[in-house]
A and B are shown apart, each in its own frame.
Chain A
Amino acid sequence: MRFAAMMRSWPLTGLACALGLACTSVPGHAESVLRVAMSAADIPDWTGAPDQGYEGYRFVGFSLYDSLTEWDLSSSTKAADIRPGLAESWAIDPADHKRWIFKLRKGVKFHDGCDWNADSAVWNFGRVMIADSPQYNVRHHAMQSWLITNIASIEKIDDYTIAVRTKIEDSLIPYEVAGYFQVSQCAVTKAHNDYAVYGQHPAGTGPYKFDKVVPHERLELVKNPDYWDHGRVPKHDRLVLLPMPEASTRAAALLAGQVDFIEAPSPDTLPRLRAAGMTIITVPYPHNWDYQLRFDRPPFNDLRVRQAANYAINRAELVEMLQGVATPGYGKFIESQPWYGHPIQYTYNPDKAKALLKEAGCLPCKFTVGISTSGSGQMQPLPMNELIKEQLDAVGFQVKLAPMDWNSLIDVFIGGSHKYPQYDAINVSLSSIEPGQGVLKSTMTRYQPPNGWNWGYFQDPAIDKLGEEALSTFDPPKRDALIAKLHETAIADAQEIFIAHDLNPRALSPKVKGFVQAQSWFQDLTPITIAP
């Protein structure tokens, strides 16, 4: 209808307006609005199953919804850890180590006025995991089940207590549920379990409420003044999320005053943005830009070759090329995380790299690495990989870069190295926000494809033992010590070529105050105020 109306009316007056004739302007209003330019190609899903990578979780998921536990994003000086969310406390059942008890927060309401309670939690499990539940949605399953894959069932004990039964002993469940969003049962039922209809009036318990969406263009959220965490009631009235996949467009929009906050400006634009008075924020976060290796054949089934590759990387040169928006990577975790430990560090030593290759009898040491031309978390893959190739070739490797689009590389990653004999390594950067994603699922034998992300079929009995022990250790400090030891072991094994951690630059208008960039993939926008 709008199409028809527009086609009837635009030609003459429209042309006149386009040329600047006789047109009026719209008066402004006093509402404080934070406008964010995301790097996402489209508006992430807002029905409780965010897509578009962790950007979807960061801006949409954690704005509209809460989880049983949540990330504490209040500090930029320490790595983010979890804290109580929709659950006030949790503990493993001392009599049964496959049963967690979660005490739920009382007095929390969804945006549609319905109560959050144990029934909601049980219903939400059906939404994602039980295929014959009326509320089950295959897309929600696809986007959220990987977080709670170790959960067998959720049972109600009383109105505000649930038992979470796990398939294996899993001490990391409180971390795993931190991005598993809780959706209003009332709202979905009212939409007759049709999530397209639900998307018109979605309801979570988060600090923002849904207001409106213009498909592909903008999602507008408004503050939830009744948010249960009073300290996190947004300090601005409205949050406008705009997908802008083109980095130069984001920078131009910020410089022109059309947005207040942009994700990932390209390093080339940083001097211009700084000169215009924009605030550039860079903080380490659990991101790992690395080469994952295959272990079933030469050259990387030889520890000396893996170590040589790690010694060959001049990380300082890479950081300089990136204009300082990365830090050298020596492990899967960043140093501020409790699981980093005290691993050996493969500092740049080309002579040692050459000697190791000679000792291994691998000269020239040929290998092919699958890389992407772009992609979530991949930073600037083409120039970065060119530089890494140059550095590796300089010590005796002969690297062949095999570029492909991001989706194809993800196929290779998910399929596992056995399915793709043409690659000896792949460059897929991943999050290491918690121990499961960070190290267990990429190193333990039980997580070899198709069950996890151990792409290269790595196997080390010591790591498997440490991992199993950590999963069965429910005392957090002891568990963390075991994981740190596992991390140290994986680095001693040179299980990857460790290269860099992104610093995730963001550029903010001088009007934006109060933002604390957390050491996390996720960020809390609620403290932001916008100066007039």
Chain B
Amino acid sequence: MWLYAARRLLMTIPIGLGVTVICFALIYLAPGDPVQSLLPPDATAKDVAELKHAYGLDKPIPVQYLIWLGHALTGNLGRSIQTNQPVLDEVTRALANTIPIAVISVILAFVIALGLGILAATRVGGILDRLATGVAVLGISVPQFWLGVILVIAFAVELGWLPATGMGSSGSEHFSWFKWSEAKYAVMPIIALTMTPLGILMRTTRSSIAEMLALDFIQTLRAKGLSNAAIVIHAIRNALPQILAMFGLQLGYLIGGSILVETVFTWPGTGFLLNKAILTRDIPLLQGTILVLAMAFVLINLVVDLLQTAVDPRIKRA
């Protein structure tokens, strides 16, 4: 187990390096000058050159990459061009805002999906299966941006039950999950974030369990006289690695932040930060955010892999 974990951990190093190269290159492939958004449209070419020099953006790109990588390895992701704040602080602050809603959303999705998926898998072709499948299709196909806007119109504008935007009445620094007056700001972002993983997890659960229920060992269990509930538990146990893998992927996506959901609700998380970094062409912030999120994704997958191994030792042997 430990050897397996160490091997998987070592494999994250080349993945991480690959991520750094890709995110660095992608940003420079995008059109436009990185310092331009800092300057007024009326700035002259001389102003642009001076600012690029000041930020070291006039050096050859490979040199910029190596300097940046060297700093990143020591935990220094540079400073945001826009705010002059350390990028690591900016990303940490955004992560602290995104992780709670991402985790709540994915747990909600997991719990509901598991329930609906089991119901559907044990009643294939029945009304409950069709209804549950309908919910899943809705979750997968409804664009989060549209859903966010609809939620705002319904619950904030028309009914006035929930706030339309922001993270708390005085901003995220004073936000508290312990006061409804503040926590209610998270309700609509969580609902909007839950729908997609709900659909995906429900489909995965249904198909995995239905597949298990058709296997020979289930027939054997039935022949041995096990109850339906005990048989389903066996099927769930065997389907769990697949469901967990999907759970990990969805958690990774959500911790990366949904640019659309966080922008619609002005929720100051990682997606919101990425959107700002893109709009303002804040290259150090963009690079640092992508790097941290990509590494978080890699680590979440590592944890899920290890969990899968714990749940199903056959994976380790394979």
Contacts and interface: CB of A to CB of B under 8 A. Distances in A.
A143 interface: yes
Contact of A407 (B37, B45, B104, B170): B37
Interface stretch (A252-260, A313-321, A333-341, A502-510): A252-260
A216 B165 contact: no
B164 A453 contact: no
B56 to A, nearest CB: 12
B284 to A, nearest CB: 14
A143 B171 contact: no
Given A42-B82, A218-B170, 7 more contacts: A15-B177, A26-B169, A45-B82, A244-B266, A246-B266, A258-B165, A450-B46
A514 to B, nearest CB: 25
A58 B165 CA distance: 23
Contacts of B309: none
A462 interface: no
B179 A17 contact: yes
B293 interface: no
A18 interface: yes
A133 interface: no
A24 B42 CA distance: 51
A516 B39 CA distance: 29
A18 B187 contact: yes
B167 interface: yes
Contacts of B39: 51, 142-143
Contacts of A258: 163-166
A18 to B, nearest CB: 5
Given A42-B82, A42-B280, A415-B45, A6 B167 contact: no
Given A3-B96, A449-B45, A26 B179 contact: yes
12 contacts: A10-B100, A17-B180, A23-B180, A25-B180, A42-B279, A139-B84, A143-B39, A244-B266, A249-B152, A256-B165, A414-B36, A452-B44
Interface in B241-274: 263-266, 268, 272-273
B44 A451 contact: yes
Interface in A1-60: 2-3, 6-7, 9-11, 13-15, 17-18, 20, 23-26, 41-42, 45, 51, 53
Interface string B135-174: 0000000000000010011001100100111110111110
Contacts of A143: 38-40
Given A407-B281, A410-B36, A13 B177 contact: yes
B219 interface: no
The list of the 4 closest CB pairs from A to B, nearest first, reads: A14-B177, A23-B180, A407-B32, A214-B171
A242 interface: yes
Interface in B276-290: 276, 279-281
Contacts of A441: 42
A437 interface: yes
A452 B41 CA distance: 11
Contacts of B83: 42, 215-216
B8 interface: no
B85 interface: yes
A139 B79 CA distance: 13
Interface residues of A, number: 70
Nearest to A250: B165
A189 interface: no
A215 B93 contact: yes
A430 interface: yes
Interface string B20-53: 0000000000011101111111111111101100
Contacts of A11: 103
Contacts of B312: none
A51 B38 contact: yes
Nearest to B278: A41
A26 B181 CA distance: 7
B183 interface: yes
Given A143-B39, A217-B171, A25 B179 contact: yes
A88 interface: no
Contacts of A152: none
B31 A408 contact: yes
Interface in A405-456: 405-408, 410-411, 413-415, 428, 430, 437, 441, 449-453
Nearest to A57: B40
B268 A53 contact: no
Interface in B40-89: 40-48, 50-51, 54, 82-85
A480 to B, nearest CB: 22
Contact of A253 (B164, B177, B180): B164
Interface in A229-275: 242, 244-246, 248-249, 252-253, 255-258
B312 to A, nearest CB: 27
Contacts of B280: 41-42
B43 A196 contact: no
A216 B276 contact: yes
A13 B100 CA distance: 12
A296 B77 CA distance: 46
Contacts of B160: 256-257
A20 B42 contact: no
A76 interface: no
B31 A404 contact: yes
Contacts of B149: 248, 252
A415 B169 CA distance: 44
Contacts of B228: none
A154 to B, nearest CB: 20
Interface in B78-113: 82-85, 90, 92-93, 95-96, 99-100, 103-104
